[in-house]
Chain A
Amino acid sequence: MAGNRAASADPDALSWYEATARQRVVALADPGSVREFLPPTERRMSPHLPLFDLPRAFDDGIVVGRATLDGKPVLIAAQEGRFMGGAFGEIHGAKLVGLLRAAIELKPAAVLILFDTGGVRLQEANAGETAIAETMRAIVDARAAGIPVIGLIGGRAGCYGGGGLIAGTCSRLAVSEGGRISVSGPEVIETNKGAEEFDSRDRALVWRTMGGKHRRLIGGADAFCADTVAAFRRAALDLIGRAPAFDLDTLEAEQARLESRIERFGDCRDATDVWARLGVNDPDSVPAMDTRAFDETVARVREANHDAR
């Protein structure tokens, strides 16, 4: 499949943020182990984009397939943020749904979802939205069958809209500094509520409110990675080994965790206020921390680690 150039990329050197979806998959998995389903050669392209005079992609902006990770069989999906912002169209969404349904039958060691999405593709909005609902149900079915579903978030498009809801349905999430997780994007909030509510040009505000470090500190993600494929690989292997069950006890614990978060931080204006209350000594220094310093900070924050997801 995906070309030998990608296959030979050094996962320690390859930036997750800069890599394409296919490069991420190939470098993340064991060398030579990836087999793609409905690869670009099959040219399963959107039947809808031509109506809008928009270019199509041979894979509709998502790679799905199987591979091994440390010898264990996994199913992988990777969104391509460079095509239509990684957004969910009819085929894009159906490939992810099909992969998750296959997991329930094949029982792999895990399903990995490499998010890179702005949410629903508006030109195919109803199909995209429905596919997101189908994806969430299929993730729940897979988790209930004992299959960990691990989300990896560090791409250019972030993980927005329905992508954020899917991420919240996964067993575990790994995120890098550049990964952003949110429902309404900065531009959407600004367009609807004004720049006083959210100034989308204030990139530092975007990163503080939705970025990987904030999500990790409040327990919205379970691992923080440097921006390399190797770091995401290590995180994925670790998270597969400690995925919470999907049952009433887990959801009761998540209910308590989220209620407690709103009670404790509901009056905070800025992420730095939240971090201070979490016990971070110098909240203003968090955005500039390197991975090691940030890991040490996270280790002292009780709320960051839990099985309530």
Chain B
Amino acid sequence: MTLAEILAGLFPQGHSVQVRDGLVTGGGPFAGSKLHVVGIDGDTPLGVEGALILSRVVLDVVRAGDRAPILVAVDSDSQRMSRRDELLGLNECLAHLAKALLLADRSGHPTIGLIYGHSAAGAFIATALATRVLAALPGANPSVMDLPSVARVTKLPLDKLQEMAKSTPVFAPGIDNMVATGAVHVVLDPGKALDGQIRDLITGLQAGDDRDRLGETRGGRPVARGIAGAVIDQARLV
């Protein structure tokens, strides 16, 4: 689905969402109230300026305090890879955007990620992965790194990696694998009304971070939940 199709599905009554330099901001009437939208479109890399434009919008929403949900729609590249971005503190800018989203969620604005295209690495962590619940549309393609690059770094043949990727969700790119690890909570049905599906997600939000439980249940991250729990158990002992 394209962003325009998504917005048409979310806002049958119209919306004010704009895309500028690949950055998505705006909102519209939703479920008797309002839905704010921020995001990245068109496989755009996220650099220092883009991160701060999005965080500014999120903080303005928190300051206004309407407690309306925020949808984070993502079809991005990875973080912008440049000497200038790192010189200016890209790690601070991306972390700041993630913190703004986490603050919004804590402040009564439920945050819902929606990945409908690509996303990777720092851009993925600072946006979609910083929401309370992350949904995907079929065809979405999140990755940490593409398989040819993984092959280069791990010094394993690409055909062997492609074979391993079929049975090992923990390292391979793609939406199914991110669902299996629990990073993506749910894949939406493009044949059904989008606004209703997002509304149901907001209604059904769980307290806390249940991604490791999902990863255990789905088998993509078999041991993380148990390990985190064991650390907590041992920390409780005097």
Q: Which residues of A contact B (CB under 8 A)?
A: 37-38, 44, 47-48, 51-52, 64, 66, 75, 90-91, 93-95, 97-99, 101-102, 105-106, 120, 122-134, 136-138, 140, 144, 161-162, 164-169, 181-184, 188-189, 191-193, 197-198, 209-210, 214-215, 218, 220, 246-248, 251-252, 254-255, 258-259, 261-262, 265-266, 268-271, 274
Contacts and interface: CB of A to CB of B under 8 A. Distances in A.
A127 B170 contact: yes
B99 A169 contact: yes
Contacts of A182: 86, 90-91
B88 A265 contact: yes
Contacts of A133: 125, 129-130, 183, 211
Interface in B96-127: 96, 98-100, 102-103, 106-107, 121-122, 124-126
A193 B92 contact: no
Given A37-B235, A94-B227, A268-B87, A132 B125 contact: yes
Given A122-B171, A165-B91, A259-B52, A254 B103 contact: no
Contacts of B181: 126-127, 130
Interface string B43-60: 000001100100110010
A169 B99 CA distance: 7
Q: Chain B interface secondary structure, helix, strand, loop or mixed?
A: helix
6 contacts: A90-B227, A127-B221, A130-B221, A164-B91, A189-B82, A247-B103
Contacts, number: 269
A167 B89 CA distance: 11
B21 to A, nearest CB: 15
The 3 closest A-B pairs by CB, nearest first: A168-B95, A98-B231, A164-B91
Contacts of A193: 81-82
B107 A248 contact: yes
B179 to A, nearest CB: 10
Given A90-B224, A184-B79, 9 more contacts: A91-B224, A122-B144, A129-B129, A133-B183, A140-B102, A161-B122, A183-B90, A189-B81, A191-B152
